[in-house]
Amino acid sequence: MTSPLANLQSQIDELLARIASLESLEALRAAEPSLTGKRSVLSSLQKSLGGLAPEERSDAGATLQGARRHVEIALEDRRVELAREERRIRLQADRLDLGDVVVQSVRWPATVGHRGLVPSTQRELEDVFVGMGFTVADGPEVESDWYNFEALNIPPAHPARGMWDTFYVDLGEPETVVLRTHTSPTQIHLMELALAQEALPIHSVMPGRCYRRDTPDARHLATFHQIEGLVVDRDITFADLAGVIETFTRSYFGSDIESRLRPAYFPFTEPSAEFEITCTICRGDGCRTCSQTGWIELGGCGMLDPAVFSAVGLDADEWSGFAFGFGIDRCAQMRYQIGDMRALIENDVRFLGQFS
297 pairs with which residues across the strands? 276
Looking at the Cβ atoms of 211 and 253, the one nearer to Zn ion is 253
Nearer to Zn ion, 148 or 280 (CB): 280
CB 337 to Zn ion: min, Å: 10
19: Cβ–Cβ under 8 A, 6 or more apart, which residues? Answer: 28, 31, 35, 71, 74, 75, 78
Question: At its nearest, how many Å lie between Zn ion and the CB of residue 250?
Answer: 18
Residues contacting Zn ion: total by CB under 5 A: 6
Minimum Å gap between C-beta 272 and Zn ion is 25
Nearer to Zn ion, 151 or 257 (CB): 257
* Residue in 219, 333, 327, 326 with CA at minimum distance from that of residue 281: 333
Shortest gap between Cβ of 259 and Zn ion (angstroms)?
A: 15
Q: Between residues 257 and 261, which has the closer beta carbon with respect to Zn ion?
A: 257
- Of the pair 36, 280, the CB lying nearest Zn ion is at 280
Helix axes 117-131, 328-335, angle to 10 degrees: 100
C-alpha–C-alpha distance, residues 231 and 243, integer Å: 13
Burial of 210 (0-12, 13-18, 19+ CB in 10 A): buried
**Pairing of β 295-304 and β 320-327:** antiparallel
Q: Which is nearer to Zn ion, 230 or 277 (CB)?
A: 277
Q: How far is the CB of 294 from Zn ion (least distance, A)?
A: 6
* Least CB distance to Zn ion at residue 292 (A): 7
Q: Is 132 in the site for Zn ion (CB under 5 A)?
A: no
Q: Residue 209: in which H helix or E strand, if any?
A: strand 202-211
Beta carbon nearer to Zn ion, 25 or 281: 281
Residue 118's contacts (CB-CB under 8 Å, 6 or more residues apart) are: 225, 328, 329, 332, 344
The CB-nearest residue to Zn ion is: 279
Which residues are registered as beta bridge partners of 223? 211
Q: How far is the CB of 277 from Zn ion (least distance, A)?
A: 11
The interface mask with Zn ion, positions 256-295, x = CB under 5 A, is: -----------------------x-xx----x-xx-----
Task: Give the integer Cα–Cα distance in Å for 156 and 178.
Answer: 13
Cα dihedral 45, 46, 48, 50 in deg (nearest 10): 160
Residues that bind Zn ion (CB under 5 A): 279, 281-282, 287, 289-290
